[in-house]
Structure 1
Amino acid sequence: MRLADMFERVVGPGSPIRLRAYDGSTAGDPDSDVTLVVRSPVALNYLAQSPGGLGLTRAYVSGHIDIEGDFSTALRAMADLVVKSGVSVGTGDLVRIAANLGWVKFVNRVPPPPQEVRRSKLSYLGLRHSRRRDAQAIHHHYDVSNAFYEMVLGSSMTYTCGVYPYQGATLEQAQFHKYGLVSRKLGLAEGMRLLDVGCGWGGMVMHAAREHRVKALGVTLSKEQAEWAQKRIAQEGLGDLAEVRHMDYRELPDAGYDCISSIGLTEHIGRRQVPGYFAALHAKLRPGGRLLNHCITRPRNDLPPIQPNGVINRYVFPDGELLGPGWLQTRMNDAGFEIRHQENLREHYALTLRDWAANLERNWDAAVREVGEGTARVWRLYIVGCVLGFELNAVQLHQMLGVKPDGADARMPLRPSFEPPAG
Structure 2
Amino acid sequence: MTMAQVFSTLVGEVAGLQVRAWDGSRSGEPGGRILHLHDRRALDHLLTTTSSELGLARAYLSGALSIEGMDEANPYPELVLLRDHVRPTAPRPSDLPRLATAVGALRPRPAPLPAEETPTRARRLATGLRHGRRRDATAIAHHYDVSNRFYELLLGPSMTYTCAAYPHEGATLEEAQAHKHDLVCRKLGLRPGMRLLDVGCGWGGMVRHAVEHYGVTALGVTLSRQQALWGQRMIERAGLTGRAEIRHCDYRDVTERGFDAISSIGLTEHIGVRAYPAYFAFLRDRLRDEGRLLNHCITWADNRHRPMSRRAFVERYVFPDGELAGSGRIVTEIEDAGLEVRHQENLREHYARTCGEWGANLTEHWAECVAEAGIGRARVWGLYLAGSRLNFERRGMGLHQVLAVRTSAHGVSGMGLRRVSL
Q: 1:7 to 1:54 in 2, by over 3 A?
A: closer
| Structure 2 residues without counterparts, runs of 5 or longer | none
Per-residue CA deviation, residues 386-412 of structure 1 (Å, 9 max, x unaligned), is 111111111111000000002221111
Structure 1 residue 26, shift from structure 2 partner: 3.8
Q: How many residues matched?
A: 415
Mapping 1:13-412, distance limit 5 Å: 15-29=15-29, 32=32, 34-51=33-50, 52-70=52-70, 71-82=75-86, 85-86=87-88, 96=98, 99-100=101-102, 103=105, 105-118=106-119, 119-406=121-408, 407-412=410-415
Question: How many angstroms apart in 2 are the aligned matches of 1:96 and 1:299?
Answer: 42
SS at 1:286 equivalent: strand
Q: 1:168 to 1:7 in 2, by over 3 A?
A: farther
Structure 1 residue 54, shift from structure 2 partner: 1.1
- 8 Å Cα contact 2:54-2:311 kept in structure 1: no
Per-residue CA deviation, residues 239-297 of structure 1 (Å, 9 max, x unaligned), is 13111000001011110000000000000110111000000000000000000000001
Return the TM-score normalized by structure 2. 0.93
Alignment partner, residue 3 of structure 2: 3
Question: How many angstroms apart in 2 are the aligned matches of 1:400 and 1:346?
Answer: 14
Structure 1 residue 31, shift from structure 2 partner: 5.2
Per-residue CA deviation, residues 306-359 of structure 1 (Å, 9 max, x unaligned), is 213422111110110001110111110011111000011111000000001111
SS at 2:354 equivalent: helix
Query: Over the residues paired in the alignment, what is the CA RMSD in angstroms?
Result: 2.2
Structure 1 residue 67, shift from structure 2 partner: 2.6
Structure 1 residue 4, shift from structure 2 partner: 3.4
- 8 Å Cα contact 1:37-1:67 kept in structure 2: yes
Q: 1:175 to 1:264 in 2, by over 3 A?
A: same
SS at 2:127 equivalent: coil
Per-residue CA deviation, residues 345-377 of structure 1 (Å, 9 max, x unaligned), is 111000000001111111111111111111111
Structure 1 residue 236, shift from structure 2 partner: 1.3
- 8 Å Cα contact 2:43-2:108 kept in structure 1: no
Question: How many angstroms apart in 2 are the aligned matches of 1:162 and 1:87?
Answer: 40
Deviates more, 1:38-47 or 1:259-268: 38-47
Structure 1 residue 66, shift from structure 2 partner: 1.5
- 8 Å Cα contact 1:3-1:97 kept in structure 2: no
- 8 Å Cα contact 1:48-1:94 kept in structure 2: no
- 8 Å Cα contact 2:48-2:109 kept in structure 1: no
- 8 Å Cα contact 1:181-1:418 kept in structure 2: no
Deviates more, 1:158-167 or 1:296-305: 296-305
Question: How many angstroms apart in 1 are the aligned matches of 2:18 and 2:388?
Answer: 23
Question: How many angstroms apart in 2 are the aligned matches of 1:140 and 1:91?
Answer: 45
- 8 Å Cα contact 2:195-2:260 kept in structure 1: yes
| Structure 1 residues without counterparts, runs of 5 or longer | none
Per-residue CA deviation, residues 92-134 of structure 1 (Å, 9 max, x unaligned), is 989756644763x532221211111112442112210001110
- 8 Å Cα contact 1:41-1:101 kept in structure 2: no
Q: 1:113 to 1:238 in 2, by over 3 A?
A: same
Return the TM-score normalized by structure 1. 0.92
Deviates more, 1:12-21 or 1:317-326: 12-21
Structure 1 residue 30, shift from structure 2 partner: 5.0
Identity %: 51
Code of the aligned partner of 1:77: L
Code of the aligned partner of 2:270: H
* Structure with higher RCO (Cα < 8 A, 6+ apart): 2
Structure 1 residue 36, shift from structure 2 partner: 2.2
